[in-house]
Amino acid sequence: MNGFALSTELPAFDTPGMVHRARCRRTALIAGVATALIVAGGATALASMSGASQAPAKPAAVTVDHDKATFLLGGVTKEPIPVDLTGVDVDGAKGQLLKAELRLGTIVKVTSPGCEPATVVELTPHSPKIVSEGYTVNVKLCAG
């Protein structure tokens, strides 16, 4: 039996060639994606430049203070992670707080000009205070 096993030829694999072809494919794919992004960026820049001369930009009616609706999540990485909930509805805010392992405190509706009803306008505590898991966050929603 051993004589039979040694009499067959071993299959030949071109391992260096396989690795080289895989690298070439990967390089070509990366170059293609980079080219597509550059072309799309150039087209966007041209479109925005040509559109700016036709219609003047409207000034923002109300400035939104994103710091009041942003909390800094600490304890996950070295630096705190800012989480901006400005304009997010109640369900979205609850989901983000649960994901950050924070407790939802009181929900209060306040009148604030220029905001969409039932969206977050302020959090307590908000940045620059850093919160970590277990904190209770109070939410103020736009009443309309």
Q: Which residue stretches of the chain have pLDDT < 50? A: 52-53, 58-63
Here the tokens at position 42 are: 């150039």
State if pTM tops 0.75: no
Question: What is the residue-averaged pLDDT of the chain?
Answer: 78
Note the pLDDT of residue 57: 52
Q: How far apart are CA 127 and CA 11, in angstroms?
A: 64
Note the pLDDT of residue 2: 62
Q: Are strands 81-84 and 70-73 parallel, antiparallel or unpaired?
A: antiparallel
Note the pLDDT of residue 77: 80
Note the pLDDT of residue 8: 67
Instruction: Give the model confidence (pLDDT) of 43-79 as tens digits.
Output: 777 666 655 445 555 444 444 566 677 888 887 788 8
